[in-house]
Structure 1
Amino acid sequence: MMATATATTPTPERLPLRLEDVPPAPPRRPRVLLVGTALASAASIALFGGLLSAYFALRAEVIGQGEQWLPDGASIPLSPGNMTMVTLVMSLITAQWAVHAGKQQDRGHAYFALGLTVLLGIAHVVQLGFLFTQWELPLNGEPTMQAVLLFTIMGLHVAMAAAALIFFTLMLLRSLGGQFTGRDVEGLSAAALYWYVTVGIFVVLWYGILIVK
């Protein structure tokens, strides 16, 4: 009878894990883009705050003298402003949807939400352009103080909205390249933050200029 010997592999001893042996965590990505966007947003708020303060003060002074604020023949219709306000409210939902989809690494929904946000933003700019044609406030010839203030304030907001749309478009292109998805969504969050501020400023313009007049 033959006895077979089985070879056993010795198991290495498990050494206790020490904290100094644990590799350090990777450095956290600095939120330079988000902080820079927050500073730019604060500067935009300060700019519009100063312009609106001057606008409201001059309007109150003219009305206090018993005069009409808007010149004869000029009018600010409500429908275009209300429609563009509804458009911006919808864009807030799609912007947050894009950020949430990016955090969940859901590229399909992130691209779709970003595209919708840009489309709604373009619609907002087009609606404001149509509103300008309905004011009947001339800037050529002898422009009035009201026309200069209205076109300056609303024109700056169009420029701000255009900058936000370019920001979103750049983030969309970078997302298509594989960046700013998953945990690294700083770009999407920064673009959404600037868009939120853009919409918030327009809420004040919509009520203070288009509604109250």
Structure 2
Amino acid sequence: MAADAALALPPAAPPARPRVLLVGTALAAGATFMAFAGMIGLYLGQRAAVLSQGGTWLPDGVHIPLTPGGIGMGTMLLSAVTMWWAVDAVGRNDRPSAYLALGITVMFGLAVINATTFLYTQMGLAIHTKVGLLIYTITGAHLAMIVAGLVFASVMTFRTLGGEYHGRDREGLVAAALFWYATIAVNAVIWYAIYVTK
């Protein structure tokens, strides 16, 4: 009789899945942020050394306009809202809003790439100079980070379209949002260190 009662019980719940994607993304975002901190620290150290000796940091004829960088920073801040809108929409099983939010986030990321490449055409900075090498390396690496974040968000969008993420299981989108927020944080540091203080 006890054996029959034991057989009638439902099976035990599967063990909680470790959040491998989220933890891996957090580690990758942290490592990427630290790499940028090192590059920007090198840039600021070189600039401080030149300025302390009474020199000028930017070569003659080079001007870094603030407008493209400021527009890029504002666009990245807007994309923070749309990225979280996508995560929230998937949590509420509102797929149309999630697709719209992810589409707008991708559009914002492409707009920042466009603003940065426009800034390159306006600066008049040669890459063979020390200043040019540092600025193009830092901003070019950030463009690569934006592209990686856009690919990550796009893959998560397709996985959402396929029905893998819904309701309470939205780990992939949360991981994409985490990486995107690290991209925004790096952009904020670049914006202030390179575009504002020059």
TM-score of the two chains, using structure 2 as the length reference: 0.94
1:142-186 CA-to-partner distances (Å, cap 9, x unmatched) read: x11000000000000000000000001111111111111211100
Deviation of the 1:22 alpha carbon: 6.3
1:73 and 2:58 aligned: no
Structure 1 vs Structure 2: percent identity of aligned residues? Answer: 48
1:212 and 2:197 aligned: yes
Aligned to 1:33: 21
What runs of 5+ residues in structure 1 fail to find an aligned partner?
Answer: 1-16
Residues 149-160 of structure 1: matches in 2 within 5 Å?
Answer: 149-160=134-145
Is the partner of 2:63 in helix, strand or coil?
A: coil
Residues 49-64 of structure 1: matches in 2 within 5 Å?
Answer: 49-64=37-52
What runs of 5+ residues in structure 2 fail to find an aligned partner?
Answer: none
Which structure shows the bigger proportion of residues in helix conformation?
2
Is the partner of 1:33 in helix, strand or coil?
A: helix
Aligned residues: 193
| Cα separation, 2, equivalents of 1:116 and 1:189 | 17
1:99 and 2:87 aligned: yes
| Cα separation, 1, equivalents of 2:112 and 2:165 | 26
| Cα separation, 2, equivalents of 1:112 and 1:24 | 38
Is the partner of 1:125 in helix, strand or coil?
A: helix
1:93-116 CA-to-partner distances (Å, cap 9, x unmatched) read: 000000001111111111110111
Is the partner of 1:26 in helix, strand or coil?
A: coil
Is the partner of 1:161 in helix, strand or coil?
A: helix
| Cα separation, 2, equivalents of 1:74 and 1:184 | 50
Show structure 1 runs of 4+ deviating over 6 A.
Answer: none
TM-score of the two chains, using structure 1 as the length reference: 0.87
Select 1:192's aligned residue among 158, 177, 185.
177
Deviation of the 1:25 alpha carbon: 2.4
1:113 and 2:101 aligned: yes
Residues 12-23 of structure 1: matches in 2 within 5 Å?
Answer: 21=9, 23=11
Deviation of the 1:85 alpha carbon: 0.9
| Cα separation, 2, equivalents of 1:86 and 1:50 | 24
Aligned to 1:89: 77
